C-alpha cells in the first residue's frame, strides 16, 4: 500500500504510518497540501499531523480538510521524543543555532531558551537532519526523532528535550472512501453572522446529549474575523442522536460538512 | 516611550507600533516571549501580533498571555501587503527559495505553490530581508513589507502576493498597568473535565446576553487533550452584565483569568 506522508524519510509522520500500516510504501511530500492532492493518485491513503499536545493544531491540515473531497478514516496518536542532533564531529557547546519544524521548535522552546540556542524554522524535522548532513554544518543542530538520527548516521547531543515529557501528536489517515463505522466524528461548520450564533449552534449538540471533545476556530479567507469551527465528538455519524444533532446544526449554521467518523486512537 | 516589539527593524509589528505611537523608540525582540519579558524592564509597553485574518492565531502570543502579569491595553489592526523581495541583482526566474516568517509564508501559500517556489521558514519577515542582504544570496527571496524592502535597499520582485487582498493582522499592546475602561474584553478559562462543560461554561455569557466575537482553544502543557479557552466579547470588565457573566463563569470553570478590557481597533 502506498501512503502519502508529510515530511522526509525519518519524519514523525512516517513513523506513525509504519506503526499503523507495517509494510507500507511511503510517498514523501514536502507540503501538507501535497499529501491531500496525492491521495487517490500517487497514493492510496494520506497521513498528516493534526494536533500536538504541547504546540496545538497544525493549521495547514485544518485548512486542507475543508476544501477537499477526502474522508478521515482513522486517528493515530504517537508519543514524540525529541532529540538534539548534529553532525558526528560537533560538540554541544559548539552549537550556535538549531533547525527544525516550527512545531518541534515550539515543543522544545524552554530547552532552547535555557541553553541560549537560536532557533531557525525548517519545513520538516527529518528534513533538517538531512540538510545538516548534506551541508556538513559543524556549528548547528536539528531537532528530530532518535530514529531520524540513526537513519542519517548523525549524533544525538541531547535526548528528551521537549518542554514536557507528555508530548503526543495525533495524526489523521485520509482516504477517498469513508470508514465503515467509527466511534468519533469530526465536523466543520460556520455559524451565521448573528448574535449568539456560536452558542446557538453548539446547542444542537448539547440538546442531544453529545459532548464535544474538541473545538477549534479557523479564519475564513477573504472575510476577516469570520470563522469556521471544527468540532470532534464521540459517536458515529449514523447514530440516531448524532443524526438528530447534525440535522439541528444544519438549521442553525451557514454550512455543515462531516469530515468523517473513524476509529479513535487509544492515547 | 520605549516599546518592545516582535521582529527586526522593518517588521510589521514595528510598523503597527509606529502607526499607534508616533515617536516611540523600538526595542527589537527575536521571540514573542522576549517582548513579554521586556515590558516593565527594558520597555514601557510591548506589542505582539495575535491573529491574522488568513493564517489565524499566533500561538506563541496566546501561550505567553496566560502566564504573565501583564494586561492587554489596546488592539491595533493593520492591513498587510506582502512583497517578494530580493537582492538588487536577482531576477524573478532565478529565485529558487523564499524565506519568511511561517505566518507570511502561509499567507502567500498559493503564490508560492503556483510559481513552484520552495519556502523556508525564518524567525521574522524583516529579519529574512536583512539576512538576504547580509549573505548576498543571489537565488533566494524574502516575503516582507514594501517598507522593509526600502529600509534595507532591496528589490521588490512582486507586490501584493497574499492569497487574498483582505489580509489584516491584529496586534495587542500589553503593559504592566490596565487601561481605564475598554469596549472589548479578553478572558481565558479552563472548562471542568465533565461532559458538556464547555457548553455549560459558554452559557455564562449567553445567559447574560453577551455575544462572543472570538473563541480559541490552546492545549494545556502536560495534560494531553486538555484545553484552555480564550474568548473575546464586547464590553468592559466593569459593566454589570459582564460582572454577572464572569461571576457565573467562575462557578462553572476550573479557573478564569481576565486578560484585559481595551479599546477595539476599527477594522
Burial class of residue B220, CB neighbours in 10 A (0-12, 13-18, 19+): middle
In a domain, B256, yes or no: yes
Same domain, B188 and B254: yes
- Has residue A195 got a pLDDT over 80? no
| Cα-Cα end-to-end distance for chain A | 25
Q: Are B115 and B158 in contact (CB under 8 A)?
A: no
- B53 interaction partners in chain A (CB closer than 8 Å): 219, 221, 223-225
**Contacts (Cβ under 8 Å, ≥6 apart) of A11:** A5, A28, A124, A125, A126, A127, A144, A148
Do A171 and A49 fall within a single domain? yes
Angstrom distance (rounded) from CA A120 to CA A108: 13
Which residue carries 506522508 as its cell?
Answer: A5
Give residue A122's pLDDT.
83
Interchain proximity A121–B109, CB inside 8 Å: no
Closest residue to A164, CB basis, from B102, B198, B221: B221
Q: Which residue of A has its CA nearest to B110?
A: A33
Interchain pair A199, B195: CB under 8 A: no
d(CA A72, CA B230): 27
Does residue B8 sit in the same domain as residue B22? Answer: yes
The phi, psi pair for A265, rounded to 5°, reads -80, 165
At A200, which helix (H) or strand (E)? Answer: helix A197-206
Does the ipTM exceed 0.90?
Answer: no
Q: Are the C-beta atoms of B228 and B234 separated by less than 8 Å?
A: no
pLDDT above 90 for A170: yes
For residue A250, pLDDT beyond 80? yes
List the beta strands (DSSP E) in chain A.
2-6, 25-29, 45-52, 56-57, 71-79, 83-86, 97-100, 118-121, 140-144, 155-158, 168-175, 184-191, 212-219, 227-234, 253-262
- Dig out the grid coordinates for A131 from the structure: 540538510
Taking the CA of residue B97 and the nearest CA in chain A, the distance in Å comes to 12
- Please give the positions of B annotated as active site: 169, 171
SS3 sequence of chain B: CEEEEECCCCCHHHHHHHHHCCCCEEEEECCHHHHHHHECCCECEEEEEEEECCCEECHHHHHHHCCCCCEEEEEEEEECCCEEEECCCCCHHHCCEEEECHHHHHHCHHHHHHCCCEEEECCCHHHHHHHHHHHCCCCEEEEECHHHHHHCCCEEEECCCCCCCCCEEEEEEEECCCCCCCCEEEEEEEECCCCCHHHHHHHHHHCCCCCEEEEEEEECCCCCCCEEEEEEEECCCCCHHHHHHHHHHHHHEEEEEEEEEEECCCC
Residues of A in contact with B205 (CB under 8 A): 199
Chain A residue whose CA is closest to B60? A106
**In a domain? residue A40:** yes
Question: How crowded is residue B1: how many other Cβ atoms within 10 Å of its Cβ?
Answer: 10
What residues make up the domain containing A114?
83-158
For residue A267, tell me if it sits in a domain. no
DSSP 8-state code for residue A43: B
Looking at the structure, do residues B101 and B75 belong to the same domain, yes or no?
Answer: no
Residues A104, A126 within the same domain? yes
CB contact (8 A) between residue A225 and residue B53: yes
Question: What value does the mean pLDDT of chain A take?
Answer: 92
Among A113, A141, A175, identify where a domain stops: A175
Contact A200, A254 (CB under 8 A): no
Residue A121: what are its φ and ψ, rounded to 5°? -60, 145
Residue A266 has pLDDT above 80, yes or no: no
Give B-chain residues touching A52 at CB under 8 angstroms: 219
Pairing of strands A45-52, A2-6: parallel
**From A215, A218, A224, residue closest to B168, measured CB to CB:** A224
Same domain, A171 and A58: yes
Residue A214 within a domain: yes
Q: Which chain A residues have a beta carbon less than 8 Å from that of B267?
A: 224
Cβ contacts of residue B251 below 8 Å, gap of 6+? Answer: B204
**Same domain flag for B95 and B74:** no
CA atoms of A161 and A112, how far apart (whole Å): 9
Q: Distance (Å, rounded) from C-alpha B230 to C-alpha B56?
A: 14
Length of chain A: 267
Does B120 sit within 8 Å of A219, measured CB to CB? no
Would strands B2-6 and B25-29 be described as parallel, antiparallel, or unpaired?
parallel
Give contacts of A224 with chain B, Cβ < 8 Å: 53, 166, 168, 267
- Reported as half-sphere exposure (CB side, CA atoms, 13 A), residue A146 has a value of 7
Do A24 and A149 belong to one domain? Answer: no
Shortest Cα distance, chain B CAs vs residue A175, angstroms: 23
CATH number of the CATH domain containing B246: 3.30.70.260
Q: Is residue B163 in some structural domain?
A: no
For residue A212, list chain B residues with Cβ-Cβ distance below 8 A: 198-199
Query: Which residues, including other chains, have CB under 8 Å from residue A1's CB and lie 6 or more apart?
Result: A21, A23, A24, A25, A44, A45
Tell me, what CATH number does B122's domain have?
3.40.190.10
Total number of domains in chain A: 3
Question: What pLDDT score was predicted for residue B231?
Answer: 94
**Distance from B91 to chain A by nearest Cα, in Å?**
25
- The pLDDT assigned to B246 comes to 97
> Which among A198, A218, A222 is the nearest to B56, CB-wise?
A218
Among A175, A202, A226, residue at a domain's last position: A175
Is residue A124 included in any domain, yes or no?
A: yes
Of residues A33, A199, A217, nearest to B202 (C-beta): A199
pLDDT band at A55 (very low <50, low <70, confident <90, very high): confident
Report whether A249 contacts A205 (CB < 8 A).
yes
Q: Give me the pLDDT at residue B125, please.
A: 93
> Would residue B267 count as lying in a domain?
no
Chains A, B: CB pairs < 8 Å: 113
Contacts of B214 in chain A (CB under 8 A): 217, 225, 227
pLDDT, tens digit, 9 for 90 and up, residues B184-211: 999 999 988 777 888 999 999 999 999 8
At A123 the pLDDT is 79
Contact A222 B30 (CB under 8 A): no
Q: What is the pLDDT of residue B81?
A: 94
- Asked if B202 and A198 come within 8 Å (Cβ–Cβ), the reply is yes
Give the closest of B122, B166, B224 to A121, CB-based: B122
Alpha-carbon Rg for chain A in angstroms: 20
Distances A200 to A193, A211, A243, A247, A249 between C-alpha atoms, Å: 12, 15, 17, 14, 9
pLDDT at B187: 96
**B211 with A195: Cβ contact below 8 A:** yes
A247 with A207: CB under 8 angstroms? no
User: Which positions of A are catalytic?
Assistant: 169, 171
- List per-block mean pLDDT (blocks of 10 residues) for chain B, which spans 267 residues: 95 94 94 92 96 87 87 94 97 94 89 89 89 95 96 96 92 91 94 82 92 89 90 94 97 94 87
Is residue B102 one of the residues assigned to a domain?
yes
Q: Are B72 and B111 in the same domain? A: no
Residues of A in contact with B56 (CB under 8 A): 59, 217-219
Q: Do A126 and A194 belong together in one domain?
A: no
| CB contact (8 A) between residue B31 and residue A113 | yes
Q: Do A199 and B206 touch (CB under 8 A)?
A: yes
B64 and B113 part of one domain: no
According to the model, what pLDDT value does residue B124 have?
86
- B251 in the same domain as B208: yes
pLDDT tens, position by position, A128-155: 999 999 999 999 999 999 999 999 999 9
pLDDT of residue A1: 94
Q: Do B217 and A214 touch (CB under 8 A)?
A: yes
Phi-psi region of A116 (alpha: psi -120 to 50; beta: other; left: phi over 0): left
Could you say which of B30, B217, B225 has the minimum Cβ distance to residue A215?
B217
Phi, psi of A244 (to 5 degrees): -60, -45
**What confidence score (pLDDT) does residue A60 get?**
85
Amino acid at each position: 500500500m502506498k501512503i502519502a506522508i508529510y515530511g522526509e524519510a525519518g519524519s514523525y509522520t512516517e513513523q506513525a504510518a509504519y506503526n499503523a500500516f507495517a509494510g507500507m510504501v511511503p510517498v514523501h511530500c514536502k507540503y501538507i497540501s501535497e499529501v491531500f492532492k496525492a491521495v487517490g493518485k500517487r497514493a492510496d491513503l494520506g497521513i498528516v499531523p493534526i494536533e500536538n499536545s504541547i504546540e496545538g493544531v497544525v493549521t495547514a491540515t485544518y485548512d486542507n480538510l475543508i476544501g477537499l473531497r477526502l474522508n478521515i478514516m482513522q486517528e493515530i496518536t504517537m508519543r514524540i521524543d525529541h532529540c538534539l542532533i548534529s553532525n558526528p564531529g560537533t560538540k554541544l557547546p559548539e552549537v550556535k543555532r538549531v533547525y527544525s519544524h516550527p512545531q518541534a521548535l515550539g515543543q522544545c522552546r524552554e530547552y532552547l531558551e535555557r541553553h541560549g540556542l537560536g532557533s531557525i524554522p525548517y519545513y520538516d524535522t527529518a528534513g533538517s537532519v538531512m540538510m545538516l548532513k548534506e551541508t556538513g554544518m559543524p556549528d548547528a543542530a536539528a531537532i528530530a526523532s532518535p530514529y531520524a538520527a540513526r537513519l542519517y548516521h548523525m549524533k544525538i547531543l541531547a535526548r528528551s528535550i521537549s518542554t514536557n515529557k507528555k508530548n503526543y501528536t495525533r495524526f489523521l489517515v485520509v482516504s477517498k472512501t469513508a470508514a465503515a463505522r467509527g466511534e468519533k466524528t469530526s465536523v466543520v461548520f460556520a455559524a451565521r453572522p448573528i448574535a449568539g450564533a456560536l452558542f446557538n449552534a453548539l446547542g444542537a449538540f448539547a440538546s442531544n446529549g453529545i459532548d464535544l471533545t474538541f473545538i477549534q476556530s479557523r479564519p475564513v479567507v477573504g472575510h476577516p474575523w469570520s470563522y469556521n469551527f471544527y468540532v470532534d465528538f464521540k459517536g458515529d455519524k449514523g447514530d440516531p442522536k448524532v443524526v438528530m444533532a447534525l440535522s439541528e446544526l444544519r438549521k442553525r449554521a451557514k454550512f455543515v460538512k462531516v469530515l468523517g467518523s473513524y476509529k479513535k486512537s487509544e492515547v
